[in-house]
Amino acid sequence: MADISLQTYTLVITGAPYSSQAPQTALDFARAAVTAGHQIDRVFLYGDGIHMASALICPPSDEPHWPRLWSEFLAEHQIPAVACVASALRRGLIDSGEQARYELSAHNIRTPFEIAGLGEWVEAGTCSKVIYFHSGA
């Protein structure tokens, strides 16, 4: 018999690393949830939260590298992570598909993040709870 107290979460992050606590708090929550046996269905980046998916972020060596820490966590637990396409394009986050589509010179998305539309988030209907982590502004 399944334990009904276990939850499946979708995390929505709208705050950028280094200008809000949203990514850090979300990662702390995700680690605790997985440790407790819960599942993370997916992580959806929206607004300034998409900066977490940039392969070009390079913090000083004495600071946590939140995008890399998130990438490692997502890969380890095989959790899908999506950056909203509209938010990404507005902020210069590009994958190889958008690079080709707009004939741009490069792409800069960090693995395992993908760029997709809001439909990806809507499809997260299998989760029991959606939790938002925002900048608080």
Mean pLDDT confidence for 33-61: 96
Q: Across all residues in the chain, what is the average pLDDT?
A: 91
Q: Is the per-residue pLDDT at 123 higher than 70?
A: no
Look up the pTM and report it. 0.90
pLDDT, residue 135, reads: 81
Q: Place 118 in a pLDDT band, splitting at 50, 70 and 90.
A: confident
Catalytic residues: 84
Residue 4, Cβ density class (10 Å: 0-12 exposed, 13-18 middle, ≥19 buried): exposed
Report how far residue 17's alpha carbon sits from residue 67's, in angstroms, rounded to the nearest whole number.
Answer: 8
